[in-house]
Chains A and B, each alone.
Chain A
Amino acid sequence: MSTYRYEYQAGLSNWQRAYQDLKDSWARRSLWIDMAIREFNHKYRGAGFGAFWLTLTTATTATGLALLYGYLFGRPIEEHLPYVTCAILTWGLITGFANNGCAVFVGNAHAFKEFPLPSSLFVFRLAFTQVISVAYRAIVLVAVLLLFSVPVTLVSLLSLVGFVMLVWTGFWISLALGVINARYRDFGQLVSAFMTFAFFLTPIFWLPDRLGAYSAYVNLNPFYHMIQVIRGPILGHDELLLHFGVVAGFAVVAPLIGAFVFGKLSHRLPYWC
């Protein structure tokens, strides 16, 4: 009796197939880890600094924003640069998942439409690519923290927990965004436009208390909490419990959303892409 078995019954729910898809992808992690590393190397091959361009871009963006807005808000650079760098790093992770998540199935259709590969494999690959790129960009953060000798305590390590929660949430949200964008091709444009808008609405390069009477409304912005689970532990913040509570909530809800959309509709992916 063979151990390999594929069964699919149309009309019945797709849950079993979706579950198998995720399970197969996890079992084939050596494949997507290898694919992610190769993709990464390809993207930066021939560039002078290779993938360190990512580091450089992060450094210039953070420095530019910190210098300008530090001056405008009258904050010293040694305070504002670490503040902005933490946020830029986190924001890159969030938008990475949002924008690439939308394209994850449409962009890889040539592979799973021609060859039997679990479609969620590409979401795993995306998540791993995000982790690699954060690693390159985190060099800037480490440099800034050393430069201004920001004390690193045990509490700072909590930001690693925050990072894991964000990657986990990002994986499941990408799974849902990818399916929606496969069906409605303008969805990705919508998401990308929204993320640009959200960039300015989120306390990345400005401080919430500058909003004065409205500063409490910042707590309604989900991206603020996502940034604070990284920035809060490193730079110190009183409301850590609130931020971690909210992000933990996302970490619970995101798998439900991702599994629902993917489980309900993933069998249509080869037809839509």
Chain B
Amino acid sequence: MAKIDLNKVAVEYPVPHMQNRSFVGAVKNAAIGGLIKREKVLRIRALDGVTMTLSDGDRVGLLGRNGAGKTTLLKTMAAILPPTEGRVVVEGRISPLISMMLGLDNEASGYENIRIRGRLMGFAEEEINAVMPEIAAFTELQDYLDLPLKTYSSGMRMRLTFAASTAFKPEVLLLDEWLGTGDLEFRNKAAKRLRELIAESGVFVFASHSRDLHKRISNKGAVLENGKLLFFGDINDAFEFQDARRARLEDPSPKRKKNKRKSAAKKEATPQS
């Protein structure tokens, strides 16, 4: 059984260069501590009090503009980013379909690179051996799989990394933007494989700007804005919420009225789990 449980999760990034990054400087400060007021560190609150529970069968679409916190949320779920506040519990094997090119070795053969990818994703040698023929067949690269990766075209590389990354069945699948790879024929084949992978996963979380994709894949929607979870519920309701909110914010009515509506929006925003 797969499950993701987020409780009041917040992530604050310190803004680089606004922080004292010098060891010599820190020693100096400690030596004359108190004399000079400590400089204030500027922080970006990328996630702010996000509470949500996802369980088996949930196909969640993350909605929100650039910088709303979609990727940061995926990273906290993927165990990459330990949040600065709150609690994260993920049950089930996590597979983030991100950084698919990570760790690839240009000098190594296609087969070896499939192995590298499998190891990176935390699979045992026997598990990799078991899926190797299937991956090899899916890439359609045939004899090229014996040649070093540096001889591949970028399209061939994508075929290899896509096939290897999607070969293992995870319980929790995280996807940041749809993977469109290769030529039209392969793209269709890849889309089919990805849909199968999603269908077999327990929990699927997917960040995308495409409503079209969300309508086809997601059954729940989470609306993020400035790191806050404004709405979590049925995907179509999430779209409606987004549309209503956009219309409200663009509404050129008098300021007083607008404020009133804004507070109403906030009430509506209490996340449901």
CA–CA, A10 and B47, complex, Å: 13
Task: Determine whether the beta carbon of A4 is less than 8 Å from that of B88.
Answer: no
Task: Determine whether the beta carbon of A2 is less than 8 Å from that of B91.
Answer: yes
Task: Determine whether the beta carbon of A4 is less than 8 Å from that of B171.
Answer: yes
Task: Determine whether the beta carbon of B24 is less than 8 Å from that of A190.
Answer: yes
Task: Determine whether the beta carbon of A4 is less than 8 Å from that of B92.
Answer: yes
CA–CA, A237 and B9, complex, Å: 60
Interface residues of A in 1-60 (CB under 8 A from B): 1-2, 4-11, 14, 17, 28, 30-31, 34-35, 38, 41-42, 45
Q: What's the count of A-B pairs with C-beta under 8 Å?
A: 103
For residue B116, CB closer than 8 A to chain A, the reply is yes
Binds B, one of A62-70, A88-96, A108-116, A247-255: A108-116
For residue A270, CB closer than 8 A to chain B, the reply is yes
For residue B45, CB closer than 8 A to chain A, the reply is no
CA–CA, A180 and B98, complex, Å: 28
For residue B103, CB closer than 8 A to chain A, the reply is yes
Within 8 Å CB of B125, what residues of A? 30
Interface residues of A in 109-126 (CB under 8 A from B): 110-117
Task: Determine whether the beta carbon of B84 is less than 8 Å from that of A10.
Answer: yes
CA–CA, A10 and B87, complex, Å: 6
Within 8 Å CB of B191, what residues of A? none
Task: Determine whether the beta carbon of A115 is less than 8 Å from that of B85.
Answer: no
CA–CA, A10 and B10, complex, Å: 9
For residue A185, CB closer than 8 A to chain B, the reply is yes
Within 8 Å CB of B94, what residues of A? 4, 6, 116
Task: Determine whether the beta carbon of B2 is less than 8 Å from that of A2.
Answer: yes
CA–CA, A17 and B79, complex, Å: 10
Within 8 Å CB of B35, what residues of A? none
Task: Determine whether the beta carbon of B83 is less than 8 Å from that of A8.
Answer: yes
Within 8 Å CB of B2, what residues of A? 2
Contact of B82 among A1, A10, A183, A185 (CB under 8 A): A10
Q: Which residue of A lies closest to B10 (CB)?
A: A10
Question: Whole-angstrom distance from the CB of A72 to the nearest CB of chain B?
Answer: 36
Contact of B21 among A41, A111, A184 (CB under 8 A): A184
Task: Determine whether the beta carbon of B98 is less than 8 Å from that of A184.
Answer: no
CA–CA, A90 and B103, complex, Å: 31
Q: Which residue of A lies closest to B21 (CB)?
A: A185
Within 8 Å CB of A38, what residues of B? 105, 108
Contact of A116 among B26, B85, B96 (CB under 8 A): B96
Task: Determine whether the beta carbon of B87 is less than 8 Å from that of A186.
Answer: no
Interface, chain B (partner A; CB < 8 A)? 1-2, 9-10, 13-14, 21-24, 26, 78-94, 96, 98-99, 102-103, 105, 107-108, 116, 119-120, 122, 125, 171
Q: Contacts A10-B84, A190-B24 given; 8 further ones with Cβ under 8 A?
A: A2-B91, A6-B90, A7-B87, A10-B83, A10-B87, A110-B102, A111-B102, A185-B21
Question: 9 nearest interchain CB pairs?
Answer: A184-B23, A114-B99, A267-B82, A187-B23, A6-B90, A4-B93, A9-B87, A2-B92, A6-B79
